[in-house]
Amino acid sequence: MSLQAPRGTRDILAPESARLRALVDAFATAAELGGYGQVHSPMFEQIEVFQRVGEATDIVSKEMYQFRDPGDRHLALRPELTASLARAFVQHRPALPWKAWYEGPQFRYEKPQAGRFRQFNQVGAELFGSDDPQADVDVIALAWRFCTGLGLGQLRLVVNSLGDRADREAYLAALAAYFEERAGELSAQGRETLSRNPLRLLDSKRPADRAVTSGAPDIEDYWSPAAAEHFAAVLAGLEALGIPFERNPRLVRGLDYYRRTAFELASDALDGAQDAVGGGGRYDGLVADLGGPDVPGVGFALGVDRLLLACDAEGTFPAPPGAAEVFVVDVTGGRQASLLAEELRRAGIRVERAFDGRSMKAQMKAADRSGARWALLVGADELAGGVVSLRRMRGHEAAEAPESVQSRIPRGGVVEELARLLAEGAAEGSGS
């Protein structure tokens, strides 16, 4: 155990990696169905990209991996992707509205825990250039459609509005005043949070602080008429689409740039502190903060690792079958297995074979474990006769007549015959 993956990171090996890719594929399909195009952005950015976006947020102030490159540039591994996308928007100025989706790892220096890693994967989408409440709905609908498409049923959509910039500032001031007055009742940690960002305190799970926060001023009382109207339109839009939600005036998100709409997807199937699978909101003003035009935006990100945990908990979205379709057993040295396997693979058939000249029994065992429905057997007899033995591997009783299970076919017709059998099997499989 001398060398291992750094703390908070892990290797994702074969069956699980296929599942992760399938999840990303499903998201790509959902997003592109909605007119979002994929963006690849760098894993690291000039550190200012993130700093300008949220000095007071934890992920920027204390969780960033930062470094200087050999050219003395001050860089940071991306702790989130909305800022990267906003930077890309400013740099390229695409036509509006710009709808982008993304996927990939992000990095935060935190204490690892179940469902929380220092390198973790997210999928997400952003819509730049519209302040229409229907844009908010478009984005939320994508997240919802994708998650329910995975088979997740125990998911709650929690929504809130943080008002416009001025509303938010007025509210923040009122909140700070309220908490200052009662600082004595707060826990030591609570007071620390207060000095950093009073909004954070609303989320607090500490019982002592809860008592204080329950009487705190309500954001709704600080909404401007425009913000209130916007939020009402978003809720009406969700209702029209039949997307269930619950309102929570205490929902503030971890990132400071949110304006108006904020939302979170939480899973009741996940226990413990990490029940949020994703969240997002509107961030009007962010693009301007990065030196671009005053273009509004709304988006979200979902934690891939948490989504998969939620899928586990609900017993949905299993790993896709990676099984071979055909296994070539060759006891004449292995060259025939190479030839047959390659021929079949060039025809698009998933083929496995054994190495190291193992015994027929061993190769048959391997064939069984591979999950292949068909085995091709090549021995001295077959080789001499220009044939191969074709054996059905699964779904038959031991008592069945041997000739219905195994037969010899001409060597030259192997690809055609297997293609036919597999197509037949697929048709049957889809019918049942």
Partner RNA sequence: UUGACCGUAGCUCAGUUGGUUAGAGCGCCGGGUUGUGGUCCCGGAGGUCGGGGGUUCAAAUCCCCUCGGUCCGCCCA
Applying the rule CB under 7 A, the residues between 305 and 334 that interact with RNA are 305-306, 331
What is the x/- site pattern for RNA, positions 331-360, by CB under 7 A?
x--------------------------xxx
Looking at beta carbons only, is 3 or 427 nearer to RNA? 3
Looking at beta carbons only, is 165 or 392 nearer to RNA? 392
Looking at beta carbons only, is 117 or 146 nearer to RNA? 117
Q: Does 401 help bind RNA (rule: CB under 7 A)?
A: no
Q: Pick the stretch among 64-72, 176-184, 202-210, 231-239 that binds RNA (CB under 7 A).
A: 202-210
Give the number of residues in contact with RNA, rule: CB under 7 A.
Answer: 76
- In 188-335 the beta strands, taken as DSSP E runs, fall at 246-247, 259-267, 276-282, 297-303, 326-330
Torsion angle of alpha carbons 125, 129, 131, 135, nearest 10°?
Answer: -40
Which residues within the stretch 166-195 sit at the binding site for RNA (CB under 7 A)? Answer: 189, 193
Backbone phi and psi for residue 292, each to the nearest 5 degrees, phi listed first: -100, -175
Task: Tell me the C-alpha distance between 390 and 375, whole Å.
Answer: 6
Looking up tokens 């950015």, which residue turns up?
45
Residue pair 150/123 in contact by the 8 Å Cβ criterion: no
Looking at beta carbons only, is 132 or 289 nearer to RNA? 289
Task: Tell me the C-alpha distance between 333 and 330, whole Å.
Answer: 7
Q: Does 1 help bind RNA (rule: CB under 7 A)?
A: yes
- Closest approach of RNA to the CB of residue 338, in Å: 17
Looking at beta carbons only, is 2 or 432 nearer to RNA? 2
Q: Does 57 help bind RNA (rule: CB under 7 A)?
A: yes
Task: Tell me the C-alpha distance between 41 and 151, whole Å.
Answer: 30
Q: Is the peptide bond before 15 cis (omega within 30 degrees of 0)?
A: no
Q: Does 88 help bind RNA (rule: CB under 7 A)?
A: no
What is the x/- site pattern for RNA, positions 266-295, by CB under 7 A?
-----xxxxxxxxx----------------
Q: Count Cα neighbours of 420 within 13 Å in the Cβ-side half-sphere.
A: 5
Q: In what order do the strands lie in the sheet with 66-68?
A: 44-46, 74-77, 66-68
- Closest approach of RNA to the CB of residue 71, in Å: 29
Q: Does 136 help bind RNA (rule: CB under 7 A)?
A: no
Q: Which of 49, 302, 326, 414 contacts RNA by CB under 7 A?
A: 302
**Dihedral angle sign, alpha carbons of residues 169, 175, 180, 186:** negative
Q: Which of 97, 104, 105, 112 contacts RNA by CB under 7 A?
A: 112
The DSSP result for 46-98, as a single string, is: EHHHHHTT-TTSHHHHTS--EEE-TT--EEEE-S-SHHHHHHHHHHH-PPSSE
Residue pair 201/192 in contact by the 8 Å Cβ criterion: no
Q: Which of 83, 125, 201, 212 contacts RNA by CB under 7 A?
A: 201
Eight-class DSSP state of 36: -
Which residues within the stretch 360-399 sit at the binding site for RNA (CB under 7 A)? Answer: 360-362, 364-369, 377, 379-382, 389, 391-396, 398
Q: Which of 108, 230, 259, 260 contacts RNA by CB under 7 A?
A: 108
- Give Cβ neighbours of residue 161 (< 8 Å, ≥ 6 apart): 219, 220, 223, 227, 228, 230, 231, 234, 260, 261, 262
What is the x/- site pattern for RNA, positions 235-254, by CB under 7 A?
------------------xx
Q: Does 209 help bind RNA (rule: CB under 7 A)?
A: yes
Q: Pick the stretch among 23-31, 104-112, 342-350, 409-417 that binds RNA (CB under 7 A).
A: 104-112
Q: Does 6 help bind RNA (rule: CB under 7 A)?
A: yes
- Closest approach of RNA to the CB of residue 254, in Å: 2
